[in-house]
Structure 1
Amino acid sequence: MQPSVRPLPLGPLLLCSAIVVTLSMGIRHGFGLWLQPVIMAHGWQREDFALAMALQNLIWGASGPFVGWWADRTGATRVLWTGAALYALGLLGMATSSDLLFFNLSTGVTIGLAQACTTYAVVYGVVGRHVSAERRSWAMGLVAAAGSFGQFLMVPVSSWLIQNLGWSQALMGLAVSALLIAPAAFGLREQRLPATPASPGSPPTTAPSTGPVGAMAALREAFQHRDYLLLTAGYFVCGFQVAFIAVHLPSYLKDNQLAPEVATTALALIGLFNIFGTYSVGLLGQRLRKNHILAAIYLLRAIVMVLFLMTPPTPLTVGVFAATMGALWLSTVPPTNAVVAQMMGVRHLSMLGGTVFFSHQIGSFLGVWLAGRLYDATGSYNVVWWIAIALGLVAFALNLPIREHQQPARRLASA
């Protein structure tokens, strides 16, 4: 006998999931546009801003497993409501900070917690419980594509707000938009049903976990699972690469005497082409081995970065780089979470997905902070670019041997 939840209609489920990640991911994708205005307004160094962004990523990742456990246990709605409030509060603090401590607390800690509550781990837990295994990769790809659309949409909006309202008032405007996550959360509200025997071939209706004992057993089993650990290690690289590029690409382009509009266009192109990349990968995940898809993504990222560094930076080369990298940007998200669901089941998917994502965010912390640190020390981002390239090759090697269909010896939930 398994406790269950009433199945959610697929259309509203995917629509509301898409709205949530469009807002949560779209807002954060443009934070690199604030690096120059903020440090100039306060007289800070790049490392100061980078440290807050790095702390944001680390808090997001570290709180992810706990937030995921909360969402698995009680459902996603309350978690998303909390995240919307924290997001607005953190953006207001970022807009009004006058010293580094307050800036780190608001931009780093508060927004980091908000992102843990409003992004993929929480949303994918609901999607995984209500979409059959045969369509799960597609559904996750569709939601990730929505997050990519948010990046494409919000970067020009953020740039326009900065230019017309000023950087501080622009953040206040984004704080209002973050609150729109709360009403979208109603579409992810799960209703529990009385325990019923599982019928063969029935769609997944596994309820949120009812207690911490099952969650701890799931974590112990995951940490003894070789392929889960390989997947987790590879995801570190994804975080390092995308966080470094997202935060520091605008400044890198400015250092190369390119106009600010080039950076805005580049970030928007990353979001635009990521729509096609994530959705396409979600479809491919229904036909090809997902670990092979992940390995190919990391290898292609390394090749694209090498070619970018070998060509003079012009608006054209930046545009080609942004479009190509955009197609590979969040493409790792659907197959990574789908592999977790296949290997470990869906009952604890938000928590186990959040644990994998913690590795991603440790990489994000290092990618953002190390880039600022090394730039202030050397006056160049070149060393960080080559570190990102080398890590891409490492992730390629880590993902190749993963056996995505291998099931744990002791199942904790149906897949």
Structure 2
Amino acid sequence: MAGPTIKLSHPVKSLSGNVPLTGSKSESNRALIIQALSGGNVTIENLSAAADTVTLQRALAASTAADGKIETVIDIGPAGTAMRFLTAYLSINGGQATLTGSERMKQRPIGILVDALNTLGAHIQYAGATGYPPLAIDGAFKQETAHVRIKGNVSSQYLSALLLIASALPQGLELQIEGELTSRPYLTMTLDMLAEAGIQHQWNGDRITIAPQATKPCRLTVEPDWSAASYWYAMVALAEDANLFLPNLKKNSLQGDAAIKDIMVHFGVASTFEDGGLRIQKTTSVHQAEETLFDFTECPDLAQTVIVCAAVQRRNLSFTGLHTLKIKETDRIAALQNELGKFGVKLVEVGKVYHLVTEGLFRPQHLTIETYEDHRMAMAFAPLALLFDGVQINEPDVVEKSYPDFWKHLKQHGFILS
């Protein structure tokens, strides 16, 4: 859906039918790196149509085409996962490349990963500000050690980037995680997908070891995106009546964002796995007293959706595990505070805990939401059209980063878009 704004409404306030979600961006991006290092042994099914995945796929093709003979400039725009994964991949692929991105990407730190790779034997220099993209990468890798230490509480993508290339290193990798580990399910996803491709590992305490080894011939089938499903959970919670079927979602998912099915029990949404997928339904059972503090350490991408949903349900809840949100596509904490304030809700930070204050909630005649170049801001606030009249989303094209069919799917389910 093109254009600088979209106005949303939903006259019926009821939802039903099927929502065919695109493949998981997180799984797809890992699968692409595994495939690139497999020597043709790995094929992928149900690859995501998300812009981030398309960007990574094109970047890998460009680096392969260059074949080490010319320097390649690779611009990944706002694709954070692509930046982290390509930094590791390009450092061992034999060619020379300058890896850059959007202005926001140039503000997102990457020094922890660069330091780790250079310790291993990579040759990466900063082409701009120290600690940030763009990066000048010489892929003539000569391993100096198999041991590297890296902080676990900044971004799990740093760790995943290292683990994805580990089996291709001459000495393999022994990765020691320092301190708290953020987004553990994403690390588990990486290791499970590597295992599907025949790459074995050992994880003992704070150490993960992967020996040099080759991938086996295999087909990696990408599950639909639970992050995308989370927005439909919010819509079910805010609708007057709702019964939706999400095809091909799995009960035993690799994705950490599958936690949404347990979280949204507290907001009146029931989940039932059936043959071929997942059914989510509006219920009258809302477990208001059972949970007042939600920890998003292992699923930070759900935070905006749940916080917005809680805000308009007048739930004075508290949230922790949000520390990584400040270095995402935007400062998501500040963005949430700004936009929640437009209908009288406050998100107050006290130490490492954030508290919703909903006593000032009011129903605005018109609500305009800024997206801050962040796809999740657009999709977290769009469900408010089920409660408020005249919701406007500015710069709606940001959803193409992870869920290109989002607006089309809303239209198919009774939302009026103009």
TM-score, length-scaled by structure 1: 0.24
TM-score, length-scaled by structure 2: 0.24
Structure with more strand by fraction: 2
Greater RCO structure (CA 8 Å; 6+ sep): 1
